[in-house]
Amino acid sequence: MNLRAKFIINSLAGCVLGMLVGVAIWMIPPVNKEGRSLLLHVIMSGLHGMIPFGAMTVYEIESWGITKQTVVHASLTLATILAIEIPMKWWKPGAELAIALAGYVVVYVIIWLCNYLYWKHKVTEMNELLENIHGRG
């Protein structure tokens, strides 16, 4: 599957997931719904899922190193948070927003680290398998 197809599939999956999460959050009290429509909330939630999920495609660009991939993905994800969550008033300015952004960083680092360790383990397994195959030949 080419990069464009992966981007489209990731984006659509993220949009659907974002919308489902948006509807679920809308239904959980006490959500401040004053002056907001469910439709706008769901659309913005879909965008909020679509952009980071679509941006995951940068990890498929083999010519980029892990650092560049991470910086680009993290930047796009953070930009999405700032461009959607602040205007939608999902967080109050000040301490609440700072805590949310700190939470974003912690969750991002944990997810990144888990993926990194998983793939490092897989690469080690593949290298050992290749050594065993090569050693026999």
**pLDDT, tens digit (0-9, with 9 covering 90-100), for 62-96:** 899 888 999 999 999 999 989 998 888 888 889 99
How much is the average pLDDT of 47-55?
A: 94
Considering the entire predicted model, what is its pTM?
0.77
Proportion of the chain above pLDDT 90, given as a percent: 66
pLDDT category of residue 30 using cuts at 50, 70 and 90: low
Check whether 136 has a pLDDT greater than 70.
no
Q: Using an 8 Å Cβ cutoff, are 55 and 81 in contact?
A: no
The region that residue 89 occupies, defined by phi over 0 for left and psi between -120 and 50 for alpha, beta otherwise, is left
- Name residue, tokens 């984006």: 11
CA proximity to 80, closest of 113, 48, 125? 48
d(CA 49, CA 22): 9
Check whether 51 has a pLDDT greater than 90.
yes
pLDDT category of residue 32 using cuts at 50, 70 and 90: low
Residue type, 40: L
Check whether 36 has a pLDDT greater than 70.
yes
d(CA 56, CA 50): 10
How much is the average pLDDT of 36-63?
A: 92
Proportion of the chain above pLDDT 70, given as a percent: 95
Phi/psi at 20 (5° precision): -65, -45
Check whether 31 has a pLDDT greater than 70.
no
